Structure formats: structure tokens, C-alpha cells
């Protein structure tokens, strides 16, 4: 029965055009929940669900990870089994941690520490466009308009298309890289062909970071955080930044205003 339900969930998610990544996560969450509940899977047992979620929290799972489980469980009961009963679940509080942002000087240091031209371009493009790691490795030659200095992302996160900017500073090096490529080719192909893995892109950034004296716990995603923060520091309206990043909700973008708050930075310590 468990396998049958998982197949039904997968089919429903595919019909609704959910991404491969989301489908994989939802199925994994439900597989764990079914193994925990064991019997009467077709019946909603709020107490049982709460115990399951408490079990996840006790293992120090991040709040964002814990919140995936009730999303998957609710989808199963509401959309697959069509049970109208409301499931009253309080979601785990999201982390209030501020994003790790690199200064312009630190970004320059990371780029300059990279000698491989392709790796240098990966880091420069990620910072200069604010793309997610999945968008960088999934970028195709035809997505980039060098005349207009724009990138047209198709089926980005949330199955939305969006336009973002392309940095003129890397235009010539970018042209060199794609010179012999076809429009449907990936910009950054692996040595074996096909697109790079996220792990490889993370490694490229990690290796570059290690060669500098930067002590921050930065990751590839810090390039996107830095892009947003530096745009705000340059006076770009937050609504435009939201659009460039592809954020559905302005509140997601507003976290960067806390990092770049000039009024706080201008306060002198009384010491």
C-alpha cells in the first residue's frame, strides 16, 4: 500500500509540473513518514504527525528541512487522498540568521585567486548576475543575450521565467568560452560532456576561497547574497532586486536590507 501511495503522489506532482527536485524531496519525506506511521496511512492522525515532526526536530534538523515534512504530508492527504479535513500543524520557526555577505574587495580577491579561466568565469558570473548555483550550471548559450546584456532564465525556481542582468566586464571572456558552442549547449560543460554538478561548482568556489585569507564561512550561495546586498548599497530599488533574484515575496529580499543598513553602520560605539 505504501508503494502505491508513493506512486500516486509522484503522478500527482508530475501532473502539476513540480520540479524533479521537489518530487524527490516530497517522496523521501513521505517514505519516512509512512515508515513511522506504519498502519492506517489513509487516516489523518494529527498526534502521530506531531510526534513524527518532534522526532525530526530532536535530531537538530534545520527549520527549513523540518517544514518540508508537513508540506509533503498535507499534499498527500489533501491532493492525493482528497481528504478535506484541516490539518492543524504549527510550522517550525525559520532561522533568523543573516546571510553571509562578502565585501567587494573579498569578491575581487576570490576571483583573482582563481587561475583556471572557466572557474574564474563561473564565480564572476554567479556574483555578477545573482544566479542560484542550479541556474549557473543549467545555463545554456541561447539563454544569454550579449547585445542587450541580459539573461533569460526559463523554468527557474517555482517554474517561472525571469530576466536578469549580464555583467559587461566579463563579456569578452564569455564570448571566448562559447565561441565553438551551439545554442543548446551548456555554457559550463563538464569534462565528460553535459552540465557540471552542483558539487563541482561548490568545489570551484571552495578552492578559490581557500587561496585567500578570508575567514567567513562563505559558500557558493554567498555570491548571490553579495550581489543583492551590493545592488542595494548602490541605491537600486528593492523591487528591482526582488525581480532580478526571482523572489516571489518581497520579505525574502528584505533580509538584505538588514545586512546593508547604513544607519546602523554609521553608529559609533561608546567605548
pLDDT in 10s for each residue of the chain, 271 residues: 889 899 999 999 988 888 888 899 999 999 999 999 988 898 888 889 988 888 888 877 777 778 888 889 999 999 999 998 888 776 666 666 788 999 999 999 999 999 999 999 999 999 999 999 999 999 999 999 999 999 998 866 666 788 999 999 999 999 999 999 999 999 999 888 788 999 999 999 999 999 999 999 999 999 999 999 999 988 899 999 999 998 888 888 888 887 776 666 677 768 7
Q: What's 104-265's CATH class?
A: mainly alpha
The DSSP secondary-structure symbol of 186 reads B
The number of CA neighbours under 13 Å toward the Cβ of 47 is 0
Question: Do residues 44 and 86 touch, judged by C-beta distance below 8 A?
Answer: no
pTM of the model: 0.71
Q: Which helix (H) or strand (E) holds 144?
A: strand 144-145
Residue whose entry in the numeric block shows the C-alpha cell 542550479? 134
**Strands of the sheet with 160-165, listed across from one edge:** 144-145, 150-156, 160-165
Catalytic residue set: 132, 157, 221, 224, 247, 256
The dotted CATH code for 2-80 is 1.10.150.130
Question: Do residues 253 and 242 touch, judged by C-beta distance below 8 A?
Answer: yes
The residue extents of the domains of the chain are 2-80, 104-265
Amino acid at each position: 500500500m505504501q508503494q502505491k501511495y508513493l506512486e500516486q503522489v509522484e503522478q500527482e506532482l508530475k501532473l502539476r509540473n513540480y520540479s524533479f527536485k521537489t518530487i524527490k524531496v516530497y517522496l523521501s519525506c513521505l517514505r519516512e513518514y509512512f515508515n513511522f506511521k506504519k498502519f492506517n496511512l489513509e487516516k489523518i492522525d494529527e498526534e502521530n504527525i506531531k510526534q513524527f515532526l518532534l522526532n525530526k526536530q530532536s535530531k537538530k534538523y534545520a527549520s527549513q528541512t523540518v517544514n518540508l515534512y508537513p508540506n509533503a504530508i498535507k499534499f498527500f492527504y489533501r491532493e492525493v487522498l482528497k481528504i478535506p479535513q484541516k490539518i492543524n500543524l504549527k510550522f517550525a520557526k525559520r532561522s533568523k540568521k543573516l546571510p553571509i555577505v562578502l565585501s567587494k574587495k573579498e569578491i575581487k580577491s576570490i576571483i583573482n585567486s582563481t587561475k583556471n579561466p572557466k572557474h574564474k568565469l563561473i564565480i564572476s558570473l554567479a556574483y555578477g548576475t545573482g544566479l542560484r548555483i542550479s541556474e549557473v550550471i543549467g545555463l545554456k548559450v541561447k539563454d544569454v543575450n550579449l547585445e542587450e546584456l541580459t539573461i533569460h532564465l526559463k523554468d527557474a525556481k517555482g517554474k517561472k521565467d525571469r530576466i536578469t542582468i549580464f555583467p559587461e566586464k566579463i563579456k569578452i571572456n564569455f564570448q571566448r568560452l562559447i565561441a565553438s558552442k551551439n545554442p543548446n549547449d551548456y555554457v559550463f560543460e563538464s569534462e565528460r560532456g553535459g552540465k557540471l554538478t552542483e558539487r563541482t561548482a561548490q568545489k570551484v568556489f571552495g578552492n578559490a576561497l581557500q587561496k585567500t585569507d578570508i575567514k567567513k564561512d562563505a559558500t557558493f550561495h554567498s555570491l548571490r547574497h553579495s550581489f543583492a546586498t551590493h545592488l542595494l548599497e548602490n541605491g537600486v530599488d528593492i523591487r528591482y532586486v526582488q525581480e532580478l533574484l526571482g523572489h516571489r515575496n518581497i520579505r525574502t529580499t528584505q533580509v538584505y536590507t538588514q545586512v546593508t543598513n547604513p544607519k546602523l553602520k554609521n553608529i559609533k560605539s561608546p567605548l
